[in-house]
């Protein structure tokens, strides 16, 4: 899929209410240029699927959308089969909307946990933490190593774009030279989203969230794994409320990820 076609798929995602980021197309495409498929009905784009293949035999499926006026004609099945072919041999993750979870289960995906999107006008609490610094080039090697605990595969190419993309702001909280957590906030079609937000404990997460939302106008969204009860309480303490949910599902071996330190998922589309 060409970057322009990926933009079309993200427009469809916006129409579905998923509120993609303004610079998502560039960073998504960087992660796997061959991992975005568009199906055409004649010359007209009819449906999309993203099947990003990471190293170490892990892939993530998202942006599975058939245009409303092309549904019921078998396009979804064709996209699905082509996407799984691209991820042959991989453990595959996805974040499934409620309406699709049963069909994903029949396709061999097992639910690991629910993810809850919290959104609203955030209430900041307290002054900035002096241990928080912008993520710069010098910090990247340590940050890539830190991120590796939270994702089933290395994703340095994606992160280079995500951390420095237009409309993105990335911060890390340091204790000496050790990273205790980091987060990214990005501009979206409506407001902003925070993700990822990874932290050693709720206090570090709160300090980072407080810094990331400083000066933002409009609503902010944060996608949390439901098993992280402290994360849910943190979102609520900032005045955010549940607005949407998915199920994190896997086909293949379920990765062992530190959900208790995951205070914000990077994206529902790429994991």
Mean of the per-residue pLDDT values of the chain: 96
Which CATH number fits the domain that encloses residue 209?
Answer: 3.40.630.90
CA angle 184, 254, 14 (to 5 degrees): 45
Task: Answer whether 0.85 is exceeded by the pTM.
Answer: yes
Q: Does any domain span residue 253?
A: yes
Give the confidence band of 2 by pLDDT, cuts at 50, 70, 90.
confident
d(CA 118, CA 116): 6
**Residue that finishes a domain, picked among 52, 79, 111:** 111
- Nearest Cα to 79, choosing from 49, 114, 41, 35? 49
pLDDT of residue 7: 92
My answer on whether 183 and 141 are in the same domain is yes
Please tell me the total count of domains within the chain: 2
Pairing of strands 220-225, 192-199: parallel
My answer on whether 49 and 107 are in the same domain is yes
Give the confidence band of 262 by pLDDT, cuts at 50, 70, 90.
very high
Residue 3 has pLDDT above 90, yes or no: no
pLDDT of residue 125: 76
In the chain the first and final C-alpha atoms are separated, in Å, by 19
My answer on whether 83 and 198 are in the same domain is no
My answer on whether 259 and 159 are in the same domain is yes
**Residue that finishes a domain, picked among 80, 111, 142:** 111
Residue 251 has pLDDT above 90, yes or no: yes
Domain hosting 206: range is 118-264
């Amino acid at each position: 899929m060409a970057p322009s076609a990926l933009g079309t798929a993200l427009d469809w995602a916006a129409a579905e209410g998923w509120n993609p980021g303004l610079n998502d197309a560039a960073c998504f495409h960087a992660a796997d240029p061959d991992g975005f498929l568009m199906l055409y009905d004649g010359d007209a784009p009819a449906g999309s699927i993203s099947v990003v293949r990471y190293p170490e035999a892990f892939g993530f499926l998202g942006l599975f959308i058939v245009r409303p006026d092309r549904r019921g004609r078998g396009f979804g099945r064709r996209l699905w089969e082509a996407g799984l072919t691209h991820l042959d041999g991989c453990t595959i993750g996805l974040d499934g909307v409620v309406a699709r979870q049963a069909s994903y289960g029949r396709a061999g995906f097992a639910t690991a946990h629910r993810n809850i999107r919290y959104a609203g006008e955030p209430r900041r609490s307290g002054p900035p933490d002096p241990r928080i610094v912008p993520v710069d080039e010098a910090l990247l090697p340590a940050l890539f190593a830190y991120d590796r605990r939270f994702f089933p595969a290395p994703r340095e190419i994606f992160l280079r774009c995500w951390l420095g993309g237009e409309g993105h702001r990335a911060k890390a909280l340091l204790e000496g030279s050790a990273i205790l957590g980091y987060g990214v906030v990005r501009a979206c079609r409506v407001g902003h989203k925070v993700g990822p937000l990874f932290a050693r404990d709720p206090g570090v997460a709160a300090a980072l969230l407080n810094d990331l939302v400083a000066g933002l106008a409009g609503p902010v969204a944060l996608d949390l794994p439901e098993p992280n009860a402290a994360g849910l309480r943190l979102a609520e303490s900032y005045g955010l409320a549940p607005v949407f949910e998915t199920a994190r599902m896997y086909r293949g071996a379920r990765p062992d990820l530190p959900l208790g330190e995951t205070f914000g998922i990077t994206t529902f589309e790429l994991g």
